[in-house]
Amino acid sequence: EISMLDAQILSLLDKVCRSVRGKPRPFGGLQLVLCGDFFQLPPVKKRGEPPPEDAFHASSWHEATLRVCYLERQYRQEDARFLAMLNSIRHSEVNKDTIETLKTRLNQPIEGLATVTRLYSHRIDVDAINSFQLEQLQSEPHSYFMLAGGDPDLVASLKEACLAPQHLILKKGASVMFVRNNTGEGYVNGTLGIVVGFEKDDTKWPIIETKNGVRITARPIRWNVEARGEVLAYIDQIPLR
């Protein structure tokens, strides 16, 4: 996500590539494909530090003479009025009509949905409301603990980046989301479903019914760090939240 990469890190990557490849050309002559949207996620600001600069402020960005390919077709929305509102927010050109339209939806029920997904900017808030909702279910809880091995620092980084919790608690009736791609098993990152039961053997793997009615037995999957074909660190967990 190039919008999250700050100028200092991009310049550092440029220096490393030139040094490793022994070539003075930008990024050592490597071909780059940078994907992202500068209207969306900015570089992460660390507490107590000044705001980082966007990647396009780096001298290495300009030296690389990048060719910009702007994708103009919108696949996610077909409602022209809604799309116009989104674009007005995106470009900081919100007008009175957009504000008044949004006000008509404030605290209004959504037809066909008993509960509505809530969006939060911090994971701690998400975890809190998920835990509260899970506690309301009267069914038996099942626990699944993450397994890990290898270099402790790399393991810590894997755990930090992994959206599956180290201690996953599930109950029948719980709403869940897959957090890894596995098309062979029938799910991708973001697939939503409901826990409808558990395997009857000793594993007790959860059985998920997705929104389109497909039933999937969710089994542990591995995240790892490799170098030259050697696994340096890994974590195993069921890819669910």
Dump pLDDT digits (tens) for 74-86.
Answer: 888 889 999 999 9
| Averaged pLDDT for residues 51-72 | 92
Distance of CA 11 to the CA centre of its chain: 25
Query: Which residue has better confidence, 123 or 27?
Result: 27
According to the model, what pLDDT value does residue 63 have?
Answer: 94
Query: Which residue has better confidence, 72 or 154?
Result: 154
Considering only 33-42, 136-145, 213-222, which range has the smallest mean pLDDT?
33-42
Whether this prediction's pTM lies above 0.85 is answered by no
According to the model, what pLDDT value does residue 94 have?
Answer: 94
Could you give the CA distance from residue 225 to residue 162 in angstroms, rounded to a whole number? 13
Percent of all residues in the chain with a pLDDT value above 70, rounded to a whole number: 100
Could you give the CA distance from residue 159 to residue 146 in angstroms, rounded to a whole number? 9
According to the model, what pLDDT value does residue 155 have?
Answer: 96
According to the model, what pLDDT value does residue 45 have?
Answer: 81
According to the model, what pLDDT value does residue 236 have?
Answer: 97
Residue 126 has pLDDT above 80, yes or no: yes
| Averaged pLDDT for residues 8-25 | 95
According to the model, what pLDDT value does residue 103 have?
Answer: 95
Residue 132 has pLDDT above 90, yes or no: yes
Torsion of the alpha carbons at 183, 189, 192 and 193, rounded to the nearest 10:
50
| Averaged pLDDT for residues 181-198 | 94
Band (pLDDT 50/70/90 cuts) for residue 72 is confident
Residue 59 has pLDDT above 80, yes or no: yes
Band (pLDDT 50/70/90 cuts) for residue 29 is very high
Could you give the CA distance from residue 159 to residue 62 in angstroms, rounded to a whole number? 35
Band (pLDDT 50/70/90 cuts) for residue 118 is confident
- Residue 233 structure tokens: 């660190």
- What mean pLDDT is reported for the chain? 92
Residue 116 has pLDDT above 80, yes or no: no
Residue 114 has pLDDT above 80, yes or no: no
- Residue 197 structure tokens: 């039961």
Band (pLDDT 50/70/90 cuts) for residue 233 is very high
Band (pLDDT 50/70/90 cuts) for residue 159 is very high
